[in-house]
Amino acid sequence: ICIQAAKAIRNNTGLTSGTTSLAYAAIQLLSARQLAPDARILLLGLGKFGKSIAKNIRTYLPEHSLTLCNRTFEKSLSLSTELGAEVLDYAELTEALPNYEVVIAAIGNQPGLIRAEMFSSSARPLMIDLSVPSVFEAEIRQWPDYYSIDAAAAIVNASLEQRAASIPQAHSILLEHVHEFLEWSRIYAQSHTIQEWKQRVQAASDTCPHLKASSPVARQTFLKRSVGAFVQFVKQQKEASPSSDLLIRDFLNDQIADPQGKPCCLNTSSTPSTCQLCPQASK
């Protein structure tokens, strides 16, 4: 029931929509720009956050060339082997920057590392700055193709707001499934009584003259209809019956068609009756 509830919430609400990950928010920023197929991406910084960004790029933007750059070359080399990416030596960063259409920075303690003079005015890359503090100097942070960590955070915050707005609907769906589970549990608690009724109907079908005169298909149909009616009766009971016999008795009393009629093969009480479940009752 938990899996069913989770699926219903996922499919019918916005509780799981959007992203709460800054690393994936960076991918959404890139996707929104509709990069050219041959766009080259440089990722600077391969800490835990940087690795997550790199893996997301490979997963969601596999068509683009990815180059990794880190102050520790061995870390870049190790991750590049795993992801099939290229490696840029940190010492060559200044010269290589103009060769990329996208520069993503996720490196700490390097304020002002990337300066405006490193780029020509006609070939400025898309820059996504996820570093704290920023590695881009103040002039670059004014460029139209520069996105700060706040831009990525805005995507995450929008997702959180959307999810929060979906909580009441999700709560309602959850309550529905809890109610269904409690109802199922109540019926399951009477499964032995339902089975007893089924056995009684099967036994009666071998002795009841009206049923014996019916075809096997008709008898099977009667059995299914009888058990189905009993299950519906059980569902309608607000309180659990103290015993199977009492529940079956109440069911038969509810189904009596003619208290003065012929004895019902399913009624073992002292009062003869014809219940509506018997084919004779409809004649």
Do both 89 and 147 map to the same domain? Answer: yes
Q: Which pLDDT belongs to residue 76?
A: 93
Q: What is the mean pLDDT of residues 80-91?
A: 94
Which amino acid appears at position 151 of this protein?
A
pLDDT confidence bin for 261, thresholds 50/70/90: very low
Determine the Cα–Cα distance for residues 150 and 155; give it in Å rounded to an integer: 9
Structural domain count, the chain: 2
**Percent of the chain at pLDDT exceeding 90:** 28
The boundaries of the domain holding residue 61 are: 18-164
> Is the model more confident about 82 or about 240?
82
User: Under a CB-based contact definition with an 8 Å cutoff, are residues 150 and 130 in contact?
Assistant: no
> What is the b/e burial string over 103-116, where b = at least 16 CB atoms within 10 angstroms of the residue's CB?
bbbbbeeeeebbee
Of 81, 83, 114, 79, give the one whose Cα is nearest residue 96: 114
pLDDT tens across 100-151, in order?
A: 999 999 998 888 889 999 988 777 899 999 988 899 999 999 998 998 888 8
pLDDT in tens, 266-281: 554 544 444 445 545 4
- Whether residue 33 lies inside any domain: the answer is yes
**Is 4's pLDDT higher than 70?**
yes
For residues 9 and 256, give the distance between their C-alpha atoms in angstroms, rounded to a whole number. 44
Provide the pLDDT for residue 189: 74
**Do 154 and 32 fall into the same domain?**
yes
pLDDT digits (tens, 9 = 90+) for 10-23: 777 666 555 657 78
The domain that contains 104 carries what CATH number? 3.40.50.720
Provide the sign of the torsion angle of the four alpha carbons 97, 69, 154, 33, taken in this order: positive
263 Cβ contact list (under 8 Å, min separation 6): 272, 273, 274
Do the domain assignments include residue 210? yes
- pLDDT, position 1: 66
> Does 183 reside within a domain?
no
90 with 142, same domain: the answer is yes
Indicate the average pLDDT of the chain: 79
Confidence of residue 58 (pLDDT cuts 50, 70, 90): very high
pLDDT for 282 beyond 50: no
What does the pLDDT read at residue 257?
47
Statement: residue 65 has pLDDT above 90: yes
**Is 193 in contact with 246 (CB distance < 8 Å)?**
no
Q: Based on the fold, state whether residues 31 and 69 are members of the same structural domain.
A: yes
User: What pLDDT shows up at residue 184?
Assistant: 76
Q: Identify the pLDDT of residue 230.
A: 80
38 in a domain, yes or no?
Answer: yes
